[in-house]
Each structure stands twice: as C-alpha cells, then as structure tokens.
Structure 1
Amino acid sequence: MSRSGAVTFKGAPMTLAGQAVDAGQPAPDFTTHYFEGGMQTLTLADLKGKPTLISVVPSLDTGVCATQTKKFNDQLGELGDKVHAVTISADLPFAMNRFCGAESIKNLRVASDYQDRSFGKAYGTLIEELKIECRAVFVLAADGKVTYAQYVDEVTDEPDYETAIAELKKLAG
C-alpha cells in the first residue's frame, strides 16, 4: 500500500517528510547506526546480496512497536541466514540493544536513524511534527529493488505481517 502523503497518530494528521517509496523502484540509499563493540554504520549496500525485510517503528519503547518487532523476529526464525532483517527507528542504539536483550530479539538487527534522519527522509517515513519514524514495512530483493512497501495509515496500528513475510519468503526461495 502506497503512502498517501500523511499518516495519523492517535487520530491527529501528521506530515511525512520526503518522497514515498513504492514497489518496483530501486531502494534509496541511507545511513543508520547501531552499537556492536562500538558505533557502526548500516547502509543499503550492507543489505544487498540477500532479500531484506525493513521494519520501521516510531520507538521500541512503545507497545505496538515492541509487538511488531517481536512478531517479525518470531516469523524470521525459519528463514535463518537466507535473508537480512532490520528494524529501524529514531531510538538511540543503546536503547535498541537493551530492548533486544530483554526481549531475546535474535533474528533481526536494529539500526538507529537518530543522527540525521537519513532513512526517514529517503524513505518518506519521517514524521515532521514529531521527528520520529512512522510505522512502515519494506521488502527488498537481493539487488536492492523494492518489492513491497506498506505505510501504516494510523501509526498506532500494526502492519500487515503476513503479506510482508510472504513476499520475503518468495524472494528467499
């Protein structure tokens, strides 16, 4: 489902920065950060070579975002190393690591868009008024082409897990 240009947060209209990303187009480049033995960067180039699920959430410290991350983590287990999977938010990398440790998140990595909102601006997921990401899911082919994109209309609603995972499984063979 394509982005309409705005989403709502608890019913209030919000403005999304950047252009929507649609299935069929090359995935835009981005730079995010994660903490693993020191601060590291994660870019689009790091995800090429395998089908990729990108789960975008406002903050892992909220109920729906935690649920989304845990559900994708559970469903990704059977795909093993055939795919890349990442959750992106504007949370600090240290908070993201704490969440993953507490919730035993092992089938996807987390990356933070906190520094310059590079991902949010490139993928059209940055909520201008709040400076956090909206809820969205992208599936990329091994070559970086977007094959699935969902921007969830109401930020407090969950995404369509089944369709995203089905697309990822199709690409993973």
Structure 2
Amino acid sequence: MLKLGALGALMVFALLFGTASAQEGQTDNPIRIAIQAFIVSQVTAEDGTTEERLTESETARPGQVVEYRVTATNQDPTTLPAGTVSVTGPIPEGASYVDGSATPSSQQVRTEFSADGQTFSEPPVLAGETVVDPADYAAVRWTLLVPLEPQQEVRFVYRVVIE
C-alpha cells in the first residue's frame, strides 16, 4: 500500500525564475501548490457502457491507477512573466508513469519528462543514447509559456500505476 497523502506534500514543487521553490502549503513563494490524488476506477453502467470514476484517496494498492491533480496559484499581486513558472511532479518510488496521461504541451504550456528527476526534455527522453520507456520516467515538468496573472490558477494532471 502506498500512502499518497504524505507523498503529495513532498512531491510537487514550483520554480519561479528558476531559483525559488514552494511545496504544498508553503507561503514564502508567490506560487501556491495544491495537490489531490485520485484512484481511477472503471465503472460499468446498467446499459453496459463503462466510464471512469475518480475517488480521492490517501492510499493506493498495487495495480491501481492514481491521477494527481496539481493546482498552481499566483498569490503575488503582480503578473509573473511567461517562462518563469515551472511546476514539477516526480513519479513516486513504487509507481510507473502512465504514458500520455500528463497535461500535454500547447501554446500555453511546455510539458517535459525526466529519467533522473534533474534533466528534462520532450519525448523521446534519453538516458545517454538509450530511449527511456515512459513507464520509467522519474518526473514530469510543466513550464508556463504565458504570463500568470495575480490569483490565476493553472491545473496540471498526470497518472501513475502503483507497482
């Protein structure tokens, strides 16, 4: 059983201008981070169709899919310039990244991945000259390509499978 609640407080941080960091609940950085973890289940309706059900949880068992929702809010009274806010979500020990589950790159955000939690790139991610399987990613990072206004929130998601 993996404890998700304790993991959340340690796992996601925001970088502002590449130097400052903030963890969930920390107030000395203009970016406030909130993290939610959901167990993803497939539910069959009476008509035979299936749909996903997300249940907020603090623990998960092997084989379960967990969706992390990371919300970053600009608590500063000024607008933060484009390219200065990055949010990183490490893939926890005992879990594998679900390929294609992260909020994708767009004109507003660049999504990158890391095999070591330090060096990030868009796929394919390389370790030396070897292409890293997405299940082996160590972290996902989003960089805002647009300004973040005061009190503006942005949300990012990604999924892992508990091993």
Normalising by the residue count of structure 1, what TM-score does the alignment of the two structures yield? Answer: 0.29
More relative contact order in 1 or in 2 (CA 8 Å, sep 6+)? 1
Answer 1 or 2: which has greater strand percent.
2
Answer 1 or 2: which has greater helix percent.
1
Q: Which has the larger radius of gyration?
A: 2
